[in-house]
Amino acid sequence: MQSLEEVNDVEEIEKIADNRYEAVLLAAKWSRKLNAERKAKEELSEEEAPQPPEPKVTSVALKDLVEGTIKFERHSGQRKSPT
């Protein structure tokens, strides 16, 4: 498992998708999902104590993309999209 700091190699990210722009779109869609889940969790939490800062959702999304956590498939004539 890689740390968040290690996921900055563009070549590694490009291996996942056809090109870096497609990889960025996949990571962006995943980070929006992670952010929505994080906000919902915060709304449900009634704790008043300060929480330790969490990693940025974009960093987590890129790490998940490289590690294969984000599952997507290619349909004929269509782009990959997270499922």
How many whole angstroms separate alpha carbon 48 and alpha carbon 72?
Answer: 38
| The predicted structure's pLDDT at residue 16 | 77
Task: Say whether domain 4-82 belongs to CATH 1.10.3470.
Answer: no
| The predicted structure's pLDDT at residue 36 | 95
Residue 6: which of 74, 80, 55, 66 has the closest Cα? 66
| The predicted structure's pLDDT at residue 12 | 77
The predicted-structure confidence for 24-70, as pLDDT tens digits, reads as follows: 888 899 999 999 999 888 887 766 666 778 899 988 988 888 888 88
CB contact at 8 A, 82 and 72: yes
| The predicted structure's pLDDT at residue 1 | 46
Question: Model pTM?
Answer: 0.67
| The predicted structure's pLDDT at residue 34 | 94
